[in-house]
A and B are shown apart, each in its own frame.
Chain A
Amino acid sequence: MSIDEILGSSQNADEARTRLLAAGVNEAEADQLVGFAFENYEGDVLQVKDTP
Chain B
Amino acid sequence: MTFTKATPFQEAVDKLGSRSVLGSRLRTAEWQEVETGLTDRAFFSAGVEDVRFLENAKNFLDDVLTGARKNNAQGQSYISMDRSKFVKQLQDYANQNNIGPLGPTPLTNIRRQARLELIYDTQIKSARDYGYWKQGQDQDILDAFPFQRFVRVQDVKTPRRRSNRFAGMVRRKDDLEFWTGVNSRAEGGFGVPWGPWGFNSGMDVEDVSIEDGQALAGEDPALADLLRLQQPVLPIEKEFNEGLQASLRGISTGGRQQLQDYFGSQIDITGDVVRWMGAPTKPVVLNPPTIGSQLSPVTPSLRKAPVSQGLNLQVQGESLSRAKDILTVIDSVHDDGQLPQIPLTNKIARGSDGTFTRTIGGQPVALAINRKRSSTAMNSGFHETGHFLDLAALGSAGTMASESHPDLQEWRNAVAATKAIQAITAARRVAVQPGHRKYLNYLLEPREIFARSYAQFIAEKSGRADLLKELQILRTNPFMPDTFQWTEADFVPVKKALEDVFRKKGWL
Residues of A within 8 A of B (CB): 2-4, 7-8, 23-29, 31-39, 41-51
Kindly state the separation between the CA atoms of A8 and B437 in the bound complex, as whole angstroms: 12
CB contacts under 8 Å to A, within B363-396, are 363, 365, 374-376, 380, 383-384, 387
Q: How far is the CB of A1 from chain B (nearest CB, A)?
A: 9
Q: Which of A23, A27, A35 contacts B376 (CB 8 A)?
A: A27
Q: Which of B354, B363, B435 contacts A44 (CB 8 A)?
A: B354
Flag if B436 contacts A3 (CB, 8 Å): yes
Known A4-B431, A44-B384, A45-B356; contact A50-B363, beta-carbon cutoff 8 A: yes
What are 18 pairs between A and B in contact, CB < 8 Å?
A: A4-B436, A25-B479, A27-B375, A28-B474, A35-B350, A36-B442, A37-B434, A37-B436, A39-B351, A43-B352, A44-B356, A44-B383, A44-B451, A45-B355, A45-B358, A46-B356, A46-B358, A49-B359
Flag if A26 contacts B476 (CB, 8 Å): yes
Tell me the nearest residue of chain A to B355, going by C-beta.
A44
Q: How far is the CB of A8 from chain B (nearest CB, A)?
A: 5
How many contacts between A and B, using CB within 8 angstroms?
120
Flag if A8 contacts B359 (CB, 8 Å): no
Flag if B349 contacts A46 (CB, 8 Å): yes
Kindly state the separation between the CA atoms of A16 and B337 in the bound complex, as whole angstroms: 43
Q: Is B417 interfacial (CB 8 A cutoff)?
A: no
Flag if B439 contacts A49 (CB, 8 Å): no
Q: Inside 8 A of B473's CB, which chain A residues have their CB?
A: 26-28
Flag if B351 contacts A41 (CB, 8 Å): yes
Q: Inside 8 A of A28's CB, which chain B residues have their CB?
A: 353, 374, 376, 380, 473-474, 484
Q: Which of B431, B434, B448, B478 contacts A24 (CB 8 A)?
A: B478
Flag if B478 contacts A23 (CB, 8 Å): yes
Known A26-B484, A27-B375; contact A45-B387, beta-carbon cutoff 8 A: yes
Q: Inside 8 A of B353's CB, which chain A residues have their CB?
A: 28, 31, 44
Kindly state the separation between the CA atoms of A39 and B438 in the bound complex, as whole angstroms: 12
Kindly state the separation between the CA atoms of A32 and B28 in the bound complex, as whole angstroms: 40
Q: Inside 8 A of A7's CB, which chain B residues have their CB?
A: 433, 435-436
Q: Inside 8 A of B433's CB, which chain A residues have their CB?
A: 3-4, 7-8, 37
Flag if A36 contacts B358 (CB, 8 Å): no
Tell me the nearest residue of chain A to B476, going by C-beta.
A26
Kindly state the separation between the CA atoms of A29 and B375 in the bound complex, as whole angstroms: 12
Q: How far is the CB of B345 from chain A (nearest CB, A)?
A: 12
Flag if A46 contacts B357 (CB, 8 Å): yes
Q: Inside 8 A of A50's CB, which chain B residues have their CB?
A: 359-361, 363
Flag if B436 contacts A33 (CB, 8 Å): yes
Kindly state the separation between the CA atoms of A47 and B349 in the bound complex, as whole angstroms: 11
Q: A4-B433, A44-B451 are in contact. List 8 more A-B contacts (CB 8 A).
A: A4-B431, A28-B376, A32-B439, A36-B442, A43-B448, A45-B355, A48-B359, A51-B359
Q: Is B6 interfacial (CB 8 A cutoff)?
A: no
Q: Is B231 interfacial (CB 8 A cutoff)?
A: no
Kindly state the separation between the CA atoms of A38 and B434 in the bound complex, as whole angstroms: 10
Kindly state the separation between the CA atoms of A13 and B213 in the bound complex, as whole angstroms: 86
Q: Inside 8 A of B351's CB, which chain A residues have their CB?
A: 31-32, 34-35, 39, 41
- A-B pairs with lowest CB-CB distance, top 3: A37-B435, A35-B351, A50-B361
Q: Which of B349, B356, B375, B435 contacts A33 (CB 8 A)?
A: B435
Flag if B387 contacts A48 (CB, 8 Å): no
Kindly state the separation between the CA atoms of A50 and B361 in the bound complex, as whole angstroms: 6
Q: Which of A2, A23, A27, A36 contacts B439 (CB 8 A)?
A: A36
Kindly state the separation between the CA atoms of A50 and B478 in the bound complex, as whole angstroms: 42
Q: Is B71 interfacial (CB 8 A cutoff)?
A: no
Flag if B436 contacts A36 (CB, 8 Å): yes
Q: Is B432 interfacial (CB 8 A cutoff)?
A: yes
Identify which of A8, A24, A38, A45 gathers the most chain B CB atoms within 10 Å of its CB. A45
Q: Is B419 interfacial (CB 8 A cutoff)?
A: no
Q: Inside 8 A of A38's CB, which chain B residues have their CB?
A: 435
Kindly state the separation between the CA atoms of A33 and B352 in the bound complex, as whole angstroms: 11
Q: How far is the CB of A16 from chain B (nearest CB, A)?
A: 9
Q: Is B303 interfacial (CB 8 A cutoff)?
A: no
Flag if B363 contacts A36 (CB, 8 Å): no
Flag if A47 contacts B435 (CB, 8 Å): no
Q: Inside 8 A of A41's CB, which chain B residues have their CB?
A: 349-352
Flag if B360 contacts A25 (CB, 8 Å): no
Q: How far is the CB of B426 from chain A (nearest CB, A)?
A: 13
Q: Is B15 interfacial (CB 8 A cutoff)?
A: no
CB contacts under 8 Å to A, within B318-355, are 349-355
Tell me the nearest residue of chain A to B383, going by C-beta.
A44
Tell me the nearest residue of chain A to B470, going by C-beta.
A28
Flag if B479 contacts A23 (CB, 8 Å): yes
Q: How far is the CB of B32 from chain A (nearest CB, A)?
A: 35
Kindly state the separation between the CA atoms of A42 and B383 in the bound complex, as whole angstroms: 16
Flag if B478 contacts A44 (CB, 8 Å): no
